[in-house]
Amino acid sequence: MAQVLEFKLPDLGEGLTEAEIVRWMVEVGDVVAVDQPVVEVETAKAMVEVPCPYGGVVTARFGEEGAELPVGAPLLTVAVGEAAEAAGAARPAGGQPARDPGAGDEGAGEAKGSGNVLVGYGTSEAPARRRRVRPQRTAAAAPAAPARMNGRVRTAEPTDGPVPVISPLVRRLARQNGLDLHELTGSGPDGLILRADVEYALRAAAAQGGRPAVPETATAPHPADRPQAPAPALAGGPRAEVRTPLKGVRGAVADKLSRSRREIPDATCWVDADATELMRARAAMNAAGGPKISLVALLARICTAALARFPELNSTVDTEAREVVRFGHVHLGFAAQTDRGLVVPVVRDAHARDAEGLTAEFARLTEAARAGRLTPGELTGGTFTLNNYGVFGVDGSTPIINHPEAAMLGVGRIVAKPWVHEGELAVRQVVQLSLTFDHRVCDGGTAGGFLRYVADCVEQPAVLLRTL
């Protein structure tokens, strides 16, 4: 006899307590296989696809797109067993929910599950071939024929239900321009709304002399689709108060920075360095052919060499045991600004990579960060952080330590400045380096020695040869 099993939002690790539903990947009545992704959620760390550990027929879903669910809350229920699967395959058209799987079923197979449901990392075995039964619309429920304009499809009236959007960038573009995605029918597969559809709708609205309007009869958009900021105030007029919830990535960053300031007695030291020779060395390396070497990769190589000399800064404080834990590896985090906010991807075993390998890994993680596809494992476990805020055109900063690490190196912009070089005034490429460190793990002498070694390597890259 078939049985109905409840699949709850699993613990995604690293202290995450909630997630927002971005996109449902199955509907009530669909047949799902073991470990088939059923929903895409966004946590404070990243967006991940959640696979279901049971194979069978989806009988219920909990939560609409844009809703936040705590860990342990029900996601969906699945009727498992051969009879339930047959019921799902034979379900009549019209999108009706599957019948009660326990009524009159005999000889059903045993419930099967993966037993491996921690998500964001997939499961241990290859998933079975996905089987999906899509509900069909009856003639009575069919929507009115959409109107076409220049090949773009738009519905005459907004539709109810989840918005078929995958890309967060599409949602953001619509949100910024006050466009209700419920008004659109996408040109992508299965009605998926693409960026081109949103851009066309905005151009059409502009041609008509106004912004896209939401009809009074339209269904209210989901929280993820609501505009988060009001339209700009008229020139000279009063400006409305704006409140932004501290949740998701922004909330996670706020919590972590607050905890760092609250728990870590930090101190900052800084020094100006002549980066002219480092820039020349990079230019020579890239002129020799082969993969290009990034500046951040060279700075990372310098950091790992400095940490080998001053390992006290590659550590953390165990407050409960009252011990300083020094790591034997360097998992180097680096700050990356994305549309979702500031994230810190981690380069595993950075000390074992050369400049070319570091360049490739930085590029891979940066691309994943901007696409919102970093896994929790790629955002945690760092032992030291490199923050290149010079890309924002600023010279200096006092970095806040990425708790529970013990130090962070900040790098400002490299800019031409007057500099005394070999006893004469010259124009050189100068950079400011800042080190914020946990005063519990070391004193100023160690921190100063680390920073001075980094500056020496920036000014004379040949210094690195002694560590190879």
The SS3 call for residue 375 is coil
309 Cβ neighbours under 8 A, 6+ residues apart = 449, 450, 453, 467
Give catalytic status of residue 439 as yes or no: yes
CATH at 281: 3.30.559.10
Q: Are residues 304 and 221 in the same domain?
A: no
Q: Are residues 457 and 330 in the same domain?
A: yes
The SS3 call for residue 345 is coil
Q: pLDDT of 258-292, one tens digit each?
A: 999 999 999 999 999 999 999 999 999 999 888 89
- Residue identified by tokens 């907004």 is 158
How far is residue 16's CA from residue 379's CA, in Å, rounded to a whole number? Answer: 12
Q: Are residues 133 and 151 in the same domain?
A: no
Spans in the chain with pLDDT lower than 50: 90-112, 115-159, 212-227
Q: Are residues 128 and 62 in the same domain?
A: yes
What's the confidence (pLDDT) of residue 121? 36
Can you give the residue range of the structural domain that contains 28?
A: 1-140
Q: pLDDT of 19-62, one tens digit each?
A: 888 889 999 889 988 888 898 887 766 677 788 888 889 999 99
Q: Are residues 179 and 212 in the same domain?
A: yes
Dihedral (CA of 334, 339, 342, 345) sign: negative
Q: Are residues 113 and 157 in the same domain?
A: no
Q: Are residues 181 and 130 in the same domain?
A: no
The secondary structure of 201-252 as a DSSP string is HHHHHHHTTS-----TTSPPPPGGGS-SSPPPPPTTS----------HHHHH
How far is residue 134's CA from residue 82's CA, in Å, rounded to a whole number? Answer: 19
What's the confidence (pLDDT) of residue 334? 95
Element (H, E) at 324: strand 323-326
The SS3 call for residue 48 is strand
In a domain, 231, yes or no: no
Q: What is the CA radius of gyration of the chain?
A: 27
What's the confidence (pLDDT) of residue 317? 96
Q: Are residues 158 and 89 in the same domain?
A: no
CATH at 78: 2.40.50.100
Contact 347, 329 (CB under 8 A): no
